[in-house]
Amino acid sequence: MNSIVIARHNESLDWVVNIPADFEIYIYNKGELISDPRIIDRAQHIIDRPDVGRESETYIHHMLTTPRDDSSFTVFTRGDPFACSPDFLPLLQNWRQWDSLQPLSWQWNPDQNIPPAFLLAEYERRLGGRLRIRPERFSLSSWGPRDFVDEGAIATSRDYCAIYGNPPEGANVASDFLRKCGLDALADKAAAHSFGVFSYGAIFAVRNDLIAKWPRKSLEITYQATLGRAVYGYLLERLWLHIFGAEFDTPVALAVPPEQSSPDQAGLGLEHSEAAAPTDVEPDDDIVSAQVEELRNTAETLRLEVSQLREALKTQAALDQRAIHDVALAIKNIPGVVRPKRLFISTGYFATAVAATLASQQGSGTDDYLLITIDRQGAEGNTRWAYQMYDRWASVRTVGHDAYYENNAGFSNPFNCSFDEVYSSHFHMAGFVGQKFPASRYAFFEEGLTTYSQALSVRVQDNNTRFYALSPKLARDASIVSQPVDVKLLTQLLEKSINCYSIPIFENPHNIVMLAMGFPPHVPNSRSLSFEACEPAAKMLRAAGFDVWLKPHPRAPIDDLFGKSSLAAAGVRLLETDAPLIEPVILANRPTISAVVSVYSSFLVHSYPLFGIPAFTIRSPVIDRLQAAWKSLQDSSVPDVDMLLGATPDSIPSIARSFHNASVNHAGKLNRLG
């Protein structure tokens, strides 16, 4: 039986119910929950997947997990095939007329800037009542199609070359990438040609025995590539047909490809692969001259554009400094001009989420890099999380805590490039960061209460240095100017991660989440100390009728201790999840969480302003001296859990508001006295 693989983000899937009965349906869902009973009834498989790797990750995941070696077809498509293939459903009905490898689209997204005459010509190729679909040709070097200018495709080639520097710009990108994927024979074929063929939108059908020929090792290498840089997904989008056997077009010896006489001659070459392409044809001098003249005209156009932008820059100089910055970025985005580079240094999952928010809220005119310092956590999980938060990182690297903070004499820049801006989380590491990452501008962003404490204790002389924070009011007495992180944007990024992890859904309406503490690695036998101080508060809240959950600290596992603890005996339940942060759990259960409670957690400070959930502190001593200072800062902005004595679920919001307003009034009085 044929099958169809649908890589769905948040597109409407109403059309799925009209897929012919000849197809077994696999929906790989990377977006909102699919609840339409008609779709659920029609689709044999609905699989939730993390939102990474574009459709390429979905396609290869299916090939790895559902291998088949028979003559039936597998159709691969995105969630909305109709922008590129308006006749997609009729094409499915005609599957008996397909070639072994069949492109199923004939146009780019009609919302894009494509000449109408070109689209009309494509449409008219569907002759004789039979839907005749042909692939489009594209340069294996510039990645652009021959018949019109596709700036996005050209940018794909440019971005790939910028990453590796080999091949240099203008060389055969397809050959280089295929070789990196372990497809050496196919890479050799690509190197001998100038053009390839692709199906718009990566919508195509292929017999399963052709898929089975893809070596497993190469398949796994290519899958890992889809989890890395976004550019790899764009490359694969145009190489699918060749991976499954389509011949490349125009041998290099021809220099400039002649016009094709008919759509059929531009076919995939699967059924007639024995016909050798000519290799001894001399290039046509007239065509070469025309190409040279066209390149000269393009260069002149770019020169004029740069000149005009520079004039605009001068004009705006006296009016708007921000406009100057935008024009400068526009100049740097012209092909061949280097884009500015920005580095974020993260301390782990939460700091990475804040860094991703800053990278998003400050625009996409730069290439953004991320360095994650790892402390008792996995590099692989942190890297995956980084791309879940923000899939446009130019590169993500990790370094061990000791190699960065302690024995760091031999540490060096792992990115092999310099940066225009550097954002880090630790003020006391500013000298080290400046030495290892020279830049024209430095800034700081929060990774928790540690950053606020340091911001209040250092003297920053440069008025242009900024501290980006979720609660800037905590740093209002600092010498550095604080700027707010976009709370709404951060919440949106965190919400995307809910479907990436196993997260419990609370059954009852009134829940209290308790957060266990973390302890530095030098404190021995501290795991039970991370939650023992919660016992009195837990018993009080259980007696008031709340369901109480304990979330272990991610660097202090307690699964083996909790079952025998007094908390478990009091009816407290262990909150088990593979999510690296508490935030996705909170977002998934926000309506049923009455409050969050802890002895010490940076989350307490942000719970109310970010999620509207009251937070309360347990006034218990902590072991570590620095942690005690950070807890003091936390407790100044969070009410005591004793305020919940006798509280009901309905009264907790009022308690939180009263404390908040009292803090506002107190701060106002201090400001007036000052």
Whole-structure pTM value: 0.52
- Scan for tokens 């903070």, then name that residue: 405
- In terms of Cα–Cα distance, which of 448, 582, 587, 609 is closest to 515? 582
Query: Edge-to-edge strand order for the sheet containing 615-617?
Result: 573-574, 547-551, 511-515, 593-598, 615-617
pLDDT at residue 329 tops 50? no
* CA 652/CA 541 separation, integer angstroms: 12
The answer to whether 119 and 110 have CB atoms below 8 angstroms apart is yes
Q: What percent of the chain has pLDDT over 70?
A: 78
Half-sphere exposure of 565 (CA within 13 A, CB side): 25
Average pLDDT over residues 20-39: 92
pLDDT score, position 287 = 57
- In terms of Cα–Cα distance, which of 20, 38, 137 is closest to 75? 20
**640: which strand partners?**
617
> Mean pLDDT for the chain?
81
Calculate the CA 365 to chain-centre distance.
Answer: 17
Instruction: Print the SS3 string covering 283-340.
Output: CCHHHHHHHHHHHHHHHHHHHHHHHHHHHHHHHHCCCCHHHHHHHHHHHHCCCCCCCC
The answer to whether 157 and 239 have CB atoms below 8 angstroms apart is no
Lowest mean pLDDT among 266-270, 336-340, 458-462, 578-582: 266-270
**Count of positions (residues) in the chain:** 674
As given in the structure block, the two tokens for residue 410 are 């031999």
Backbone angles phi, psi at 549, to 5 degrees: -120, 140
pLDDT in tens, 103-130: 998 776 544 444 333 433 444 444 333 3
pLDDT score, position 131 = 39
Query: Edge-to-edge strand order for the sheet containing 367-374?
Result: 393-400, 367-374, 341-346, 421-424, 441-445, 466-469, 481-484
359-368, 384-393, 518-527, range with greatest mean pLDDT: 384-393
* CA 557/CA 553 separation, integer angstroms: 7
Average pLDDT over residues 581-600: 94
pLDDT score, position 138 = 86
Which sign does the torsion angle of CA 169, 173, 175, 179 carry? positive
The answer to whether 459 and 481 have CB atoms below 8 angstroms apart is no
- Scan for tokens 């059309």, then name that residue: 15
Average pLDDT over residues 344-367: 91
Q: Which amino acid is at 545?
A: G
Lowest mean pLDDT among 133-137, 371-375, 441-445: 133-137
147-161, 267-281, 464-478, range with greatest mean pLDDT: 464-478
pLDDT at residue 409 tops 50? yes
As given in the structure block, the two tokens for residue 659 are 């404390």
* CA 11/CA 109 separation, integer angstroms: 15
- In terms of Cα–Cα distance, which of 167, 194, 189 is closest to 281? 194
The answer to whether 313 and 327 have CB atoms below 8 angstroms apart is yes
Position 381 confidence tier, pLDDT thresholds 50, 70, 90: very high
Average pLDDT over residues 539-560: 88
pLDDT at residue 390 tops 90? yes
H helix intervals, 317-446: 321-332, 349-361, 379-389, 401, 430-436
* CA 446/CA 426 separation, integer angstroms: 8
pLDDT score, position 252 = 61
- In terms of Cα–Cα distance, which of 301, 327, 302, 330 is closest to 315? 327
The answer to whether 369 and 343 have CB atoms below 8 angstroms apart is yes
Q: Say what angle helices 449-457 and 625-635 make with each other, to 10 degrees.
A: 90
As given in the structure block, the two tokens for residue 601 are 């957690």
Average pLDDT over residues 237-243: 92
pLDDT at residue 532 tops 90? no
* Distances in whole angstroms, Cα of residue 665 to Cα of each of 285, 472, 607, 643, 660: 82, 17, 21, 19, 9
The answer to whether 356 and 496 have CB atoms below 8 angstroms apart is no
CB-based contacts of 22, cutoff 8 Å, min separation 6: 1, 2, 92, 95
The answer to whether 594 and 512 have CB atoms below 8 angstroms apart is yes
The answer to whether 607 and 614 have CB atoms below 8 angstroms apart is yes
